[in-house]
Structure 1
Amino acid sequence: MEKESKIIVGFKTVVLGLCLYIIELLSLPVFGILQKMQTNGDGFYSDFWKYAGVQPYPVIFILTGIMIVLGIALIILGYKDKK
């Protein structure tokens, strides 16, 4: 891969990962509302941050984090090759 293209792909990957991370955080209240509707209010967390530990969110957050780290690695490799 060309030096500049590594940097561009890495930057796009990081931006996409950060956008996904924001969407995931914003979907926590939606997940809580859906669970409240399905369980008639039983077992409902009033603090939406607790849903970050409920599956599948931990796996999704880990995969998004890996995507961001890979993007950063591509940026670093691109700048190393450039020098």
Structure 2
Amino acid sequence: MEYSMSEGEWVQANTNRTVSFQRLTEHFLALFAACPSLREDVEKELNVLKISDGDYDVRGLSVWGDLLSAINK
């Protein structure tokens, strides 16, 4: 995925769009609803990925940081 400045959201980098950022967020929220015990472990892993991207808290710099923000709203 790459961040589209014109659309203000994450989009697929290629033309084979399989999952949008919104759908990805919905999948994670559904996972947490179905199995709340996984949430802590999944959030830890997402934080590791966010840190590997530079640990920025600015929208559009890390899909993982933006995903964490979206699931913690």
Q: Which has the larger radius of gyration?
A: 1
Report the TM-score when normalising by structure 1. 0.28
Higher strand share: 2
Report the TM-score when normalising by structure 2. 0.31
Higher helix share: 1
